[in-house]
Amino acid sequence: MPLGITPSAGPWQIREFNSNSAATYLAGSLVAFNGARDVVEFTSVMSSYIGVALNDSVNSQPRGKVQVAIPVPGCTCWSDITTGVVASTLSAGQALGIAKPGNSFSFVTTLATSVFSRIWATTGKYDLGTTSGKSRVEMIFISNEATLWSVSSVSIG
C-alpha cells in the first residue's frame, strides 16, 4: 500500500475546505479545486494544485470537509516512486511528474506527458526501500503550478 505524499520540512499551512461529495481520494493524495471551488483529486489535465489531502474523502470529519496541507515556497515532502524509476533520474532539481498507478494520486514518475503533471522537483534525497520498506523520494513543489502562494494565484477584479 502506498504511503502517499507526506509533508516534511518547511512551514506547511493547514486549511479546511469543502470536499466534492462525488470525489474519492485517499489521505496523501494531491488535490485541486473544481469549478465550484470544492476539493477534488488532482488529475494530470489540471493546471494547478492546492495541496495534499490529510484525510480520506469518505472518512472526513466533519462530513464534507477536508484538511489540506498547502506547501509554501521551501516546503518539502516525501512521495512514493512508481516502478521503473531508477536512481539516476532522481538528481537534485530534476522536475518530475505525478501519476496515479493505483488508488492514490501521489506517485513520482518520469513519464510526465503533460507540463501540468510536472509539478515538483527532487531534492536529491531518496530511499529505494532500504529504510522504510517503500521506495520514496523527497520532493519540493514547483510553485508556478500552485493555486496558492504562486504568481498564478493572483486575481484581478
3-class secondary structure per residue, the chain: CCCCCEECCCCCEEEEEEECCCCCCCCCCEEEECCCCCEEECCCCCCCECEEECCCCCCCCCCCEEEEEECCCCCEEEEEECCCCCHHHCCCCCEEEEECCCCCCCEEECCCCCHHHCCEEEEEEEEECCCCCCEEEEEEECHHHECCCCHHHCCCC
For residue 13, name the pLDDT band (cuts at 50, 70, 90): very high
Give the residue from 117, 111, 119, 120 showing the smallest Cα distance to 85. 111
Report pLDDT for 157. Answer: 40
User: How large a percentage of the chain has pLDDT more than 70?
Assistant: 78
pLDDT digits (tens, 9 = 90+) for 136-146: 889 988 766 65
pLDDT digits (tens, 9 = 90+) for 63-112: 889 999 999 888 999 988 877 777 788 888 888 887 777 666 677 777 76
pTM given for the model:
0.82
Pairing of strands 6-7, 51-53: unpaired
Place of cell 494530470: 44
109: its cell numbers: 514518475
Report pLDDT for 102. Answer: 67
| Structural domain spans, the chain | 10-70, 76-148
Report pLDDT for 155. Answer: 47
Average pLDDT over residues 32-55: 86
Report pLDDT for 115. Answer: 63
Q: What residues have CB less than 8 Å from 121, skipping those under 6 apart?
A: 93, 94, 95, 96, 139, 140, 142
C-alpha 132/C-alpha 130 separation (Å) is: 6
C-alpha 152/C-alpha 157 separation (Å) is: 14
Cβ atoms of 139 and 74 closer than 8 Å: no
pLDDT digits (tens, 9 = 90+) for 44-59: 777 788 999 998 888 7
